Amino acid sequence: QVQLVESGGDLVKPGGSLRLSCAASGFIFSDSYMTWIRQAPGKGLEWVSYISGSSDNTNYADSVKGRFTISRDNTKNSLYLQMNSLRAEDTAVYYCARMGTFDVWGQGTMVTVSS
Amino acid sequence: DIQMTQSPSTLSASVGDRVAITCRASQTISDWLAWYQQKPGKAPKLLIYKVSSLESGVPSRFSGSGSGTEFTLTISSLQPDDFATYYCQQYKSYSRTFGQGTKLEIK
């Protein structure tokens, strides 16, 4: 079945780095734009970044631009989010989702930025 | 960036009630509007896309309407499973902004 599974969330100190992964199955991954969305504890949803199927088109929310990098490996059906210079306000559950409309979501992975 | 504003922020209702949640965009988004349902500890679930198209498997008591900048999610007869938080989202611009959410509570 169509599935997305995130991993890589952890507790990290301010200024640190983390790489999130999202493993896709059940659909033609290389044909799909993919996206990351986050949700701070008790807060709403915030779109973070997206990437085209061929990786030639990427975009970022202003809040993460210059610090986060989205990438993918279509040979591994995997999506990534490299997060650098992490701040306390980056603390959130991070979801990957299939774009167009966000019709398929992963279960989320928790990132906590704290000293 | 296109801002999305939902109202109300919280809605108290009873099983069997008809309820409506409104979403306003800061500029016209044509029909590029989706609605999601989220339950505690779970990922959001797509309910409606392109203003009024029901995602496969979503009960017909959910419906969407509107155009331009004003949109509405209506639940015709609330069921116990419907108590959750609902988000609208525009996908006209590349920054896929969400509304702040509407929490639907049991009265």
Q: How confident is the model at residue A100 (pLDDT cuts 50, 70, 90)?
A: confident
- Range A35-47 average pLDDT: 97
Identify the residue among A33, A43, A101, A110 best suited for mutation to test binding to B, counting B beta carbons within 10 A and taking the highest: A101
Sign of CA dihedral A16, A64, B34, A42: positive
Q: What is the mean pLDDT of residues B30-56?
A: 97
Minimal Cβ distance to A47: which of B36, B50, B97: B97
Considering chain A, what percentage of its residues have pLDDT values greater than 90?
Answer: 98
The band of B49, judged by pLDDT with boundaries at 50, 70 and 90, is very high
- CA–CA dist B92, B72 (Å, integer): 17
Q: Which of residues 1-30 of A touch B (CB under 8 A)?
A: none
Q: Does A44 sit within 8 Å of B43, measured CB to CB?
A: no
Q: Is the pLDDT of residue A17 over 90?
A: yes
The answer to whether B46 contacts A103, with C-beta atoms less than 8 Å apart, is yes
Contacts of B34 in chain A (CB under 8 A): 101-102
DSSP β-ladder status, A11-12 and A109-113: parallel
**C-alpha distance from A45 to closest chain B C-alpha (Å):** 6
In chain A, residues with a C-beta closer than 8 Å to the C-beta of B36 are: 45, 102
Q: What's the rounded mean pLDDT across residues B100-104?
A: 98
Residues of B with CB under 8 A from a CB of A: 1, 34, 36, 38, 42-46, 49-50, 55, 87, 89, 91, 94-101
Span A110-115, average pLDDT: 98
Give yes or no for residue A101 having a pLDDT over 90: no
**pLDDT tier at A3 (50, 70, 90 boundaries)?**
very high
Q: CA separation (Å) from B16 to B3, B22, B63, B106? A: 32, 19, 15, 11
What would the mean pLDDT of B72-93 be, rounded to a whole number?
96
pLDDT computed for residue B90 by the predictor = 96
Best probe of the B interface among A3, A4, A33, A45, by most B CBs < 10 A, is A45
Give B-chain residues touching A103 at CB under 8 angstroms. 46, 49, 55
A106 contacts in B (CB within 8 Å)? 43
Residues of chain B above pLDDT 70, percent: 100
On whether the CB atoms of residues B6 and B101 are closer than 8 A, the answer is: yes
pLDDT of residue B61: 97
Closest approach of B88 to chain A, Cα-based (Å)? 10
Chain A residue with minimum CA distance to B49? A101
Report whether pLDDT(B95) > 90. no
Query: Which residues make Cβ contacts (< 8 Å) with residue B27, sequence separation at least 6?
Result: B2, B69
State the average pLDDT over residues B20-32: 97
Mean pLDDT (whole number) for B70-84: 96
Confidence of residue B1 (pLDDT cuts 50, 70, 90): confident
- pLDDT for residue B12: 96
